């Protein structure tokens, strides 16, 4: 893979992660109301695996803490 291809892939991955973070924050806000700063920071620092896990949990978890709990 060329350097240009690697840069493009890195940018694509970053875009996907940012999109997931944006959607998750919207879903959490819609479900649980205003989000504490520490929750926003936690979501912003999360990797794609955690973002996907939390995005699924937001549908069924009764509390914000349960959405963000470890597996």
Q: Cα separation of 18 and 51, whole Å? A: 10
Cβ distance 29 to 64 under 8 Å? no
Tens of pLDDT along 15-25?
889 999 999 99
Q: Cα separation of 46 and 57, whole Å? A: 15
Q: Cα separation of 61 and 19, whole Å? A: 22
Q: Cα separation of 37 and 43, whole Å? A: 10
Q: What is the pLDDT of residue 10?
A: 84
The residue length of the chain stands at 71
Is the pTM higher than 0.75?
yes
Least confident of 7-11, 31-35, 53-57, 67-71: 7-11
């Amino acid at each position: 893979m060329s350097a240009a291809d690697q840069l493009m892939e890195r940018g694509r991955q970053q875009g996907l992660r940012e999109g997931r973070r944006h959607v998750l924050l919207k879903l959490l806000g819609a479900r649980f109301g205003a989000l504490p700063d520490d929750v926003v920071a936690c979501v912003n620092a999360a990797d794609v695996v955690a973002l996907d896990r939390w995005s699924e949990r937001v549908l069924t978890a009764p509390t914000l803490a349960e959405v963000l709990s470890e597996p």
